[in-house]
């Protein structure tokens, strides 16, 4: 793991201290710098989680990736920075129809005997590291909130509110929805390989039928879903359609920092 190169990619001059504040700073810097995106799937390249390939893609070539790429890179960086961390797998319940498979990975970090969940690879609104404790909550400036609840022998991460939903209600009276469920059972490399393969190849699923790009902004986040751009900033949401391939390429570069070739964007525009 080339930690200096990773830190330069996320805009940090040096590795933070391996404590709760350092974990929070590193996760936020990662989310601000590296977009969540699945564009290699519609481009026909698939998703590899070989560590060298992930590093080359997300750090050297300054692309983005989805959870199996993002959180693998984040995990290796955490360990290189002195954190005690390991991967977990989760079932995503947002928009699920029946029992969802294990299609999300994130990290469990232990600091001074206290466990934290740290997720640098769930697209959309930012969620900071949270202590693995029943009832732990986070509230973001864009109007969304998250909380952890013990459930069925494991854990459920719930979310409430949408970007810009400043309705004034307390977290206790909001309508909480399940985001993903998980246990802290050990996860092996082959488990991640299997889940990544299903997630990146299963016909008819979200990542096979949609082109998704998102990035955390200092005051919200930006999302590009197929031909629709949405900007959520300081409680205000703006949305507009993509005009053409040139507009698409400009947005990818100017908002998400993704420099794709004309040929790649033309191919994406036709799918």
Whether the CB-CB separation of 125 and 142 falls below 8 Å is answered with yes
Residue from 30, 40, 104, 146 carrying the catalytic annotation: 104
Burial of 24 (0-12, 13-18, 19+ CB in 10 A): middle
Distance from the first to the final alpha carbon of the chain: 35
Q: Is 119 a known active-site residue?
A: yes
Q: Is 67 a known active-site residue?
A: yes
Residue from 40, 67, 146, 232 carrying the catalytic annotation: 67
Q: Is 134 a known active-site residue?
A: no
Dihedral, 54, 59, 60, 66 alpha carbons, nearest 10: 40
Cα gap 86→28, rounded to integer Å: 19
Residue from 119, 142, 146, 232 carrying the catalytic annotation: 119
Packing angle between helix 245-254 and helix 262-270, nearest 10 degrees?
120
Q: Which residues are catalytic?
A: 67, 104, 119
């Amino acid at each position: 793991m080339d930690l200096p190169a990773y830190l330069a990619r996320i805009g940090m001059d040096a590795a933070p201290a391996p404590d709760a504040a350092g974990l929070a700073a590193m996760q936020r810097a990662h989310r601000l710098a590296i977009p969540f995106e699945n564009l290699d799937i519609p481009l026909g390249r698939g998703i590899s989680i070989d560590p060298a390939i992930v590093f080359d893609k997300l750090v050297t070539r300054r692309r983005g990736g989805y959870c199996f790429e993002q959180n693998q890179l984040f995990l290796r960086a955490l360990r290189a920075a002195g954190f005690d961390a390991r991967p977990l797998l989760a079932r995503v319940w947002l928009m699920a129809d029946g029992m969802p498979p294990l299609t999300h990975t994130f990290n469990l970090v232990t600091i001074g005997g206290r466990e934290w969940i740290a997720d640098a690879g769930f697209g959309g609104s930012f969620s900071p590291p949270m202590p693995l404790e029943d009832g732990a909550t986070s509230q973001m400036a864009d109007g969304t909130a998250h909380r952890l609840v013990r459930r069925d022998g494991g854990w459920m991460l719930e979310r409430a509110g949408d970007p810009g939903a400043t309705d004034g209600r307390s977290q206790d009276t909001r309508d909480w929805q399940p985001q993903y469920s998980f246990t802290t059972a050990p996860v092996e490399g082959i488990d991640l390989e299997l889940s990544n393969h299903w997630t990146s190849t299963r016909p008819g699923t979200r990542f096979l039928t949609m082109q998704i790009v998102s990035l955390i902004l200092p005051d919200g986040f930006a999302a590009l879903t197929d031909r629709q751009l949405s900007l959520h900033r300081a409680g205000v949401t703006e949305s507009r359609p993509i005009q053409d391939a040139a507009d698409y390429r400009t947005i990818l570069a100017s908002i998400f920092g993704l420099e794709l070739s004309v040929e790649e964007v033309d191919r994406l525009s036709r799918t």
